[in-house]
Structure 1
Amino acid sequence: MPTMPTHRIRRRILAVAAVAGLSIAVPVAPAFAGGHGPTPPPGDAELREYARDTWASMAAMADERTGLVADHIDGALTAPSEYTSPTNIGGYLWSAVVARDLGIIDGKEAFHRLKTTLKTLEKLERHEPSGMFYNWYSPTTGEKLTAWPGSGDVVHPFLSTVDNGWLAAALRVVASADHRLEQRADRLYETMDFGWFHDTAARDGAGLNRGGFWVDQPGDTCTVPGNYGGEGPDVFYTCHWYDTTVSEARIATYLGIANGQIPATAYFATYRTMPEQGCDYAWQEQKPEGVTREYLGVPTYEGTYEYAGMRIVPAWGGSMFEALMPDLFVPEAQWGERSWGVNHPATVEAQKHHGLDEAGYGYWGFSPASNPFGGYREYGVEQLGISSNGYASDEPATDVDAGYEGCREGTNPTPNFGDGVVTPHAAFLALPYDREGVLENLRGIRHDLGAYGPGGFFDAVATGSGTIADRYLSLDQSMIMAAIGNAELGDRLKEYFVDDDFEAAVRPLVEMQEFTARR
């Protein structure tokens, strides 16, 4: 008989233990699931309550027939949206696994929910040559959207690199978390080819991922015709690449490298900051400092920005989820002691400093979320963003401009901030780096600002006026579920996500990287 690969053996042990309700160590975190065994291990009652209420919103957004979760729902949990995305679907899958492992739902319910969603995913229309999913579907019918619900505006079906990355991450989790669904989840995962997004000619041959592609030309939108996958007709790529290091989009790079679909050099091709080359890049937020190092033959400028006495590798906009969402699944800080192990806690400390000291909001945690005054907006700490008009933390948006030494005079170096907007999911992402600080912050958001309802924390709240965005976004709720699951269960999602093949391909790259960040 053929021998099962090591990573499959490890995955099977985890999955069988999860369903049986056993507590084992393979090798870091126990694989325990409530419902078929003993009571889940005791934990933080506060976090467990947050998880139960957050799961209530996820369950309310999930269509019973299709198992697809809506993009968002109102604060009363009565009116889910009429569209969903691969990221939303993936977030629901890993949230169901966390809910099971925390004992919020039993194993039978979790299995039914996961199986229902996988069955629907098998039927969804996809771009067959790449195996990738389109970006918008109806959660009630599973149909690919070509018109926007409500307005009827035309939707040009798009395939997003980062959204497919998060769905693929969830499929890895499901395959490890329940052996009865392993083959089903693996079949879906193994058809997804991230090489379709990867431009091997970019960054002098080191390679970068495009933002995604359309099958048909989307009107007058800027596109680049091509076919990185080599099969089927050409598609129309975005004119931009995901070219910054601190970005949620790095999940797709990790997966593509682990699958052998993207070269390892791509990990070092992205920008830490824009280069320091005279005034050519003086449009960025501040003048960086750093050194150039070479990894796998790729010259890499290890630049950082200064903030509150720290040196930090910035994100594009300065939000928490750009920095920390991939860390929910990949043990970046553990593998990258000289890179993410420094930058992640520094990012958390910087967000705290901005909210509590610099802007004086009294609360912290800034990421894209619902705008309490209507719509959706990116929030962040602008000084932690490469873009000179990056994500502001307040309403109306305050542009912080300290200038660029020798090239551009600052127009607003010491601003007065307005009505600060905090987003609870951003605080949850910081749990591994300041647990007590996170819990204290969340207590204030809940009890002092009143931003809490039947589905847990509302999506955002303005700290000055007390205006609440009283709705729940499935993406943000799923980040909360993942963060609590890891905090309470010993990085359980990382253990589900990482197998031996992934670790062998990715860990050496993360270990060799050395930022010039410091706290």
Structure 2
Amino acid sequence: MRLRSLAAATAATALLLTGATTASAGGRHHPDDLGLTRQDRADLHRWAQDTWTSFVAMTDETTGLPADNIDASLDPATRSGYTSPTNIGAYLWSTISAQELGVISKREARKRMAQTLATVATMERHEPSGMFYNWYDEATGAKLTEFPTGETVYPFLSTVDNGWMAAALMVVASAEPSLRRQANALLEPMNFGAFYDANQFGGARPGMMRGGFWVDPPNPEQCTQPGDVAGSTVLFTCHHYDITNSEPRIASYIGIVRGQVPPAHYFATNRTFPASCDWSWLEQRPVGVTRTYEGLEVFEGAFTYRGMHIVPSWGGDMFEELMPDLFVPESEWAPKSWGVNHPLAVRAHIEHGMVEAGYGYWGFSPASDPFGTYNVYGVDAIGMDPGGYPSDAEKTNVDAGYEGCREATNPTPTFGDGVVTPHASFLALPYAPREAVDNLRNIETVLGAYGDGGFYDSVAVRSNTQAKRYLSLDQGMVLGALGNVLGGNVLHESFGTRQVEKVLRPLIGQEEFSAGVIK
């Protein structure tokens, strides 16, 4: 089968969904060309204001650090009692967005960010690498060794957490000149080479990023590998981030831009694993061709779903696909790879929710669990995880089999109580603005999954069971997306400086995914 270019295929592949207009199959829309009505923009702005209200409630007045989460009541007494580098980063870039949208004044934004940066400067970090630990007390800034529940914390240096913190510091340094020195003083010591495994393949080819490391021994059941970071003995995770389409690529981007990781590392990760029976545990056999970039052979694999070839993420969720795109304008800088894949992934979420599963709603991503604490959700068919990120509370797993190697076990499942996550629709706004706004309106007005702090974190749509919580990370995705869509691409412009573009654009722009609409 041949693939048509998305631009040429837009009209022929338009989605015919009841209650929704056609989704764009032609890529990211420019903020000025989204086709949004005055009422659409008014609703988006109102949602931004309410989402910011949740951040104000989550943030400690003394330290300027946001809690990981808070109940729908927004009562400060329900703050989680812990935070992470990712949460702090989300608050910083959300403050930039809130200012750009006129939700808060420039003076308030500066004051809030200065307070946060001052606290971060006092927080314990791993000095040889300059990296931050995974959990801190938002009320004091102290590194945690025990959660409020009494559960033991084994302090960990996370590649992903530090990636989002560094991204936020880069945004602040660029967007707010009065805080540039303060932000850069925190950013400068952060060396992403600490996570990069140059010897993973014996030096024969670039390596990948590790999951992170511990300074002190973790839980004895945890797999570790001893190693060295700038003369400091550490215990690395046994796993590497070996998938391209996942959130760790923000750490890769930053490490490459700062000269701490070789550019060819970007092509060391897998678009899919090889189409071989050695990998038959995958959801399906990938299709694709092998191409060479930076001297490395790359299997440009893709999964097949509803007339599309899509490069899968690990879980088939919107978060892995689109969160890095909040900062790096991937569709613009890499039109033959991310510029093709991102709109198709959004289309897959819409078709899954509206047609295949028939939920009447769409957008699936890890979030608070309506029936518990936290869980992962996605479109299983476009995820590589063999266990699957389900789209419903029943955790329905899709298994199409692996052609020539393994029989299908559940190729046409019946889906149950679908769990949609509003932040997924906000991430999708640049690619399907009409569908995203309509979906969010229905979540608010029909399901009522909305409170004083904006959209609740998730909702099981058939039982209308709502996760009445707000999470810093997910609210940060909401405000980050709105900062780009309504605020003149503020995160793209602030992160994607000339120097960043000079390094990243030619690197990622040379690639061509095996993604597209099947003819």
Under a length normalisation based on structure 1, what TM-score does the superposition of the two structures give? 0.91
- Contact 1:69/1:88, CA 8 A, preserved across alignment: yes
1:219 match: 219
Which residue is 2:479 aligned to? 481
The amino acid of 1:393's aligned partner reads S
Contact 2:31 2:485 in 1 (8 A): no
Q: Which has the higher contact order (CA 8 A, sep 6+)?
A: 2
Q: Give me the whole-angstrom Cα distance separating, in 2, the residues matched to 1:154 and 1:489.
A: 41
Alignment partner for residue 347 of structure 2, among 337, 346, 349? 349
- What amino acid is the match of 1:214? W
Inter-partner Cα distance in structure 1 for 2:514 and 2:152: 46
1:299 is matched with 297
Alignment of 1:100-499 (within 5 A): 100-150=99-149, 152-203=150-201, 204-220=204-220, 221-227=222-228, 229=229, 231-277=230-276, 279-499=277-497
2:58 maps to which of 58, 61, 66: 61
AA in 1 matched with 2:227: G
CA contact (8 A) 2:31 2:484 kept: no
Q: Secondary structure of 2:485's partner?
A: helix
Post-superposition shift, 1:205? 2.5
**1:389 Cα shift?**
1.2
Kept in 2, the 8 Å contact 1:246–1:315? The answer is yes
Whether 2:51 is the aligned partner of 1:51: answer: no
User: What aligned pairs does 1:12-51 form with structure 2 within 5 A after superposition?
Assistant: 44-51=41-48
Amino acid at match of 1:207: G
Whole-Å separation in 2 of the counterparts to 1:98 and 1:107:
11
Q: Distance in 2 between matches of 1:185 and 1:276?
A: 45
Compared with structure 1, are the counterparts of its residues 190 and 382 closer, same or farther at alpha carbon in structure 2 (3 Å cutoff)? same
What residue ranges of structure 1 are gaps of 5+ in the alignment?
1-27, 31-40
Partner AA of 1:400 in structure 2? V
Cα drift, residue 232 of structure 1? 2.8
TM-aligned CA distance change 1:304 to 1:373, over 3 Å = same
CA distance in 2, matches of 1:181, 1:76: 33
- Please report the TM-score for the alignment, with normalisation by the length of structure 2: 0.91
- 1:475, CA displacement in angstroms? 0.3
What is the DSSP-based 3-state SS (H/G/I as helix, E as strand, rest coil) of the residue aligned with 1:256?
helix
Distance across 1 between alignment mates of 2:358 and 2:57: 36
Number of residues of Structure 1 aligned to a counterpart in Structure 2: 478
* Alpha-carbon distance in structure 1 between the residues aligned to 2:166 and 2:475: 18
Contact preservation (8 Å) 2:315, 2:389: yes
Cα displacement string for residues 282-329 of structure 1 (whole angstroms, at most 9, x for unaligned residues): 001100011111111111100000001000000011100100000000
Q: Secondary structure at the match of 1:355?
A: helix
Shift of residue 493, structure 1, vs aligned partner? 0.7
State how far apart, in whole Å, the 1-side matches of 2:119 and 2:461 are.
41
Name 2:97's counterpart in structure 1. Answer: 98
Could you tell me how far 1:490 is from its partner in structure 2?
2.2
Structure 2 CA distance for partners of 1:356 and 1:42, relative to 1, 3 Å: closer
Give yes or no for contact 1:29–1:492 (8 Å, CA) kept in 2.
no
What is the deviation of 1:43? 8.4
5+ residue gaps, structure 2: 1-29, 33-37
* Cα separation, 2, equivalents of 1:390 and 1:194: 30
Partners of 1:114 and 1:498 lie apart in 2 by 20
2:9: which partner in 1? none
Equivalent pairs: percent with the same residue? 57
Alignment partners' CA distance in 2, 1:243 and 1:417: 30
1:515 to 498, 505, 513: 513
Structure 1 stretch displaced more, 383-392 or 356-365: 383-392
Alpha-carbon separation, structure 2, partners of 1:509 and 1:451: 42
8 A contact 2:66–2:87 mirrored in 1: yes
> 1:18 corresponds to which residue?
none
**Partners in 2 of 1:202 and 1:245 — Cα distance?**
17
Contact 1:207 1:263 in 2 (8 A): no
CA contact under 8 A between 2:224 and 2:236: conserved in structure 1?
yes
Q: Deviations over 1:168-195 (max 9, x none)?
A: 0000111111111001101111110000
Q: Is the 8 A contact 2:97 2:487 kept in 1?
A: no
Q: Which of 72, 77, 84 in structure 2 is aligned with 1:75? A: 72
Contact 1:336 / 1:513 at 8 angstroms: preserved in 2?
yes
* 1:29 Cα deviation after fit: 9.6
Partner in structure 2 of residue 17 of structure 1: none
Q: Distance in 1 between matches of 2:456 and 2:515?
A: 33
What is the distance in 2 between the residues matched to 1:149 and 1:291?
50
Shift of 1:219: 3.1
Q: Is the 8 A contact 1:159 1:212 kept in 2?
A: yes
Structure 1 letter corresponding to 2:272: T
For the residue of structure 2 that corresponds to 1:280, the secondary structure is helix
CA distance in structure 1 between the aligned counterparts of 2:326 and 2:396, rounded to whole angstroms:
30
